[in-house]
């Protein structure tokens, strides 16, 4: 059996992303994809996301981050991939 490679996605989403349930939709999407990590509002009005899992699932989460929930407006998404640390058990809202 081949073990799936696990990676970490770190993303920051800019636009109208606070006050539009962005964190809740992100958590639900990440949970459906069996990803672990967290999502949090930042003081500058952006949303930060750290997620770990298979690259294909992380790519699907990144697609969601570029679209966002219905009331959001996404202006920019900055993201990077890193090696996973395995430190998370679930995907949470911080």
Question: Is residue 1 pLDDT above 70, yes or no?
Answer: no
Active site residues: 23, 41
Q: What CATH number does the domain containing 86 carry?
A: 3.30.70.100
Task: Please state the domain count of the chain.
Answer: 1
| Residue 5: inside a domain | no
Enclosing domain of residue 68: 19-93
Q: What are the pLDDT digits (tens) for 34-64?
A: 999 999 999 999 999 999 999 999 999 999 9
| Residue 69: inside a domain | yes
The vertex-48 CA angle with 64 and 6, nearest 5°, equals: 65
Q: In the 8-state DSSP scheme, what is residue 4?
A: P
**pLDDT at 72 (0 to 100):** 97
Burial of residue 79 (number of CB atoms within 10 Å: 0-12, 13-18, 19+): middle
Question: Is residue 82 pLDDT above 50, yes or no?
Answer: yes
| Residue 81: inside a domain | yes
How would residue 3 be classed by pLDDT, with cut points 50, 70 and 90?
low
CA distance 21 to 72: 8
| Residue 3: inside a domain | no
Question: Is residue 33 pLDDT above 60, yes or no?
Answer: yes
| Residue 2: inside a domain | no
Mean pLDDT, residues 3-25: 93
Task: Write down the pTM of the prediction.
Answer: 0.93
Helical H runs in 1-94? 22-32, 55-67
């Amino acid at each position: 059996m081949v073990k799936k490679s696990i990676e970490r996605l770190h993303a920051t989403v800019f636009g109208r992303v606070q006050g539009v349930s962005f964190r809740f939709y992100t958590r639900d999407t990440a949970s459906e994809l069996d990803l672990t990590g967290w999502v949090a509002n930042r003081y500058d009005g952006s949303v930060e996301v750290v997620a770990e899992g298979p690259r294909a699932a992380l790519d699907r989460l990144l697609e969601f981050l570029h679209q966002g929930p219905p009331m959001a407006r996404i202006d920019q998404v900055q993201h990077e991939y890193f090696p996973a640390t395995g430190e998370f058990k679930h995907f949470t809202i911080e």
